[in-house]
Amino acid sequence: MSRVNNNLFQHYKGYESLIKKLQQIKAKYEITNNAISVGFCNRSEEKVISTFLSDTIPYSFFGGYQEATRKICVIGNNIDFKDYICCLSGRFNKKFNKLTHRDVKGAVYNSGIEIDRFGDMWVEDDRIYIYCSKDISNYLQNNFNKIENCFIRFEETDYQKQVFKFEEYKYNISSLRLDKVVSALLSKSREKAKDFINAGFVNVNHQSIEDFTYLCNNKDILSLKTHGRYQIVDIEKNKKSGKIIIIVKKFV
């Protein structure tokens, strides 16, 4: 059994704890046939879950809205996601407080609650929206009331949709290797891009990538530390130069 697990973990390197969790949940579901939440996952983890579970048992994902970047996974049939996920909203006075997504994320990470209990979160005008597991909603409403120096009262609200704002850019690159893409995005030399990648400052689809030869794909989301998030939305070939043209949206 240990050899089987070792081979399995080698296949899902970097996701060992998630695979252990899935093994336990899958075994429990096969005995009880009762729906079980795996928790919220990012897009990279979603792919791992889908590959591991395949069609062995029923499961589904939902993040509150179609474009959600973090979705809850529930194993079972005929799932009513209102039993598993809720959206909290809190208002703050933006005249005296300037809160960012980073502030909200930092407060959530420091709350002592496992991150897989939280979905998407964002700041919109004078409101903060946080998707979370239904079973921690009351606790958050009663105890999660301060972000930075700002006191906030959260309440459950209808499912909300995050509206993303972008700036669009176009780059000519010789290949889709990560170092060349990062070099273009940062307007830095390829050597500096390699150093940036080797330092662990680049995430692709929410997974840290330190291999500068990694090949990027259309729809990939790249997070560059202190430089923001980008998504490759189209890849074209320049017929004259033979170079690759990537069209990138930067989240603003």
For the chain, domain boundaries: 2-80, 85-157, 166-251
CATH annotation of 166-251: 3.10.290.10
CATH topology classification for 85-157? Alpha-Beta Plaits (3.30.70)
Residue 197: CB atoms within 10 Å: 24
Give, to the nearest 10 degrees, the angle between helix 190-198 and helix 178-186. Answer: 110
The pLDDT score that the predictor gives to residue 5 is 61
Other beta carbons within 10 angstroms of residue 131's beta carbon come to 26
In whole angstroms, give the CA distance from residue 246 to residue 137. Answer: 42
* pLDDT at residue number 1: 47
Predicted local confidence at residue 89, as pLDDT: 98
Q: How far is CA 57 from the centre of its chain?
A: 24
How far is Cα 234 from Cα 65, in angstroms, rounded to an integer? 23
pLDDT given for residue 223 in this prediction: 95
Cα–Cα–Cα angle for 221, 106, 156, nearest 5°? 90
pTM: 0.82
Q: What fold is seen in the domain 2-80? A: Ribosomal Protein S8; Chain: A, domain 1 (3.30.1370)
- What are φ and ψ of residue 168, in 5° steps? -105, 140
Q: What is the pLDDT along the chain (252 residues), one digit of tens a residue?
A: 445 466 777 778 888 999 999 999 999 999 999 999 999 999 889 999 999 999 899 999 999 999 999 999 999 999 999 999 999 999 999 888 899 988 999 999 999 999 999 999 999 999 999 999 999 999 999 999 999 989 999 999 999 999 888 999 999 999 999 999 999 999 999 999 999 999 999 999 888 999 999 999 999 999 999 999 999 999 999 888 889 999 999 998
Enumerate the β-bridge partners of residue 122.
129
Q: Which residue type, as a one-letter code, is found at position 170? A: K
